[in-house]
Amino acid sequence: MTLVDVLAVHLVKAGLRFLIAVEQTKGVKVDVKTIEGKKMSHRAATEPIGSALRIAPGFSATTLDDETGIETTLDAIYDADAGKYVVTTIVNRAIRPGFDEIALRHTAPQAILQVAVPQCVAVKLDKGWTTIAELTQTEGRIVPDWLAAEVVKRGTRTERMEVIQILYGASALAGLPPVRTVQVELGVPHRTASDWIGKARAAGYLKGMSFTPGRQADD
């Protein structure tokens, strides 16, 4: 059974519903749209990267912080040379009296990207394309525990590389450390995660994706 088949079975077994383009992760709600202002979905993921992923060429993400009274909207486009999404515009707007003036002048785009990017990356299952966000479990994991355990213990080389591709894409495209993501998702040491990433890259699974800011030497 291929990874595509395994993920398809997981969706059926778990009874997961497709998520709308407003996802909640660690209290951050982000409304993700295409650059043209349409609802983000797998249909907007038209640019192929890696061996089995497609991504939206760009997106606009908006989040509202009730505590600070600040609404933040950022636009990002995929930069092939950088191998990730690059933020091109950030706009902060106060939405109520007594807003946090300091927060208005300071934005943390990473938290927004972390929630937005999985909605812009699609993988093909046996029934068609679906976004990584639609595969994410309610607790915020990208792959289910049982699949992670299977890939680590008995997974074939192809299955393992495909999982690494998904995990790497979900983190690197958002500018997050891929090695750390692989460690957490698969429960393996840093050295193992780094080794598997290196093998996936050598096999061509990570084309069009890279991680530069503060990256590990073996990343």
**Along the 219 residues of the chain, how does pLDDT read in single tens digits?**
445 444 444 433 333 322 222 333 445 689 999 999 999 999 999 999 887 789 999 999 999 999 999 999 999 999 998 889 999 999 999 999 999 999 898 888 888 998 899 999 998 776 788 888 887 644 557 777 888 888 898 777 888 998 999 899 888 888 889 999 999 999 999 999 999 999 999 999 998 888 875 444 344
Kindly give the pairing relationship between strand 70-79 and strand 53-55: unpaired
Distance (Å) of CA 206 to CA 54, 103, 163, 167:
12, 36, 11, 10
DSSP β-ladder status, 22-25 and 53-55:
unpaired
Q: What's the pLDDT score for residue 11?
A: 39
Which position has the token pair 């429960």?
Answer: 187
| Helix spans in the chain (H) | 3-14, 101-105, 109-116, 132-135, 145-153, 157-172, 178-186, 190-202
Q: Residue 33: left if φ>0, alpha if ψ -120 to 50, beta else—which one?
A: beta
Q: What is the pLDDT of residue 3?
A: 52
Write the DSSP assignment of 19-38 as a string of letters.
PPSEEEETTEEEEEE-TTSP
Between CA 183 and CA 189 the distance in angstroms is 6
pLDDT of residue 8: 44
Q: Are strands 84-94 and 121-125 parallel, antiparallel or unpaired?
A: unpaired
Number of H helices, E strands in the chain: 8, 9
Domain ranges within the chain, ordered by starting residue? 19-121
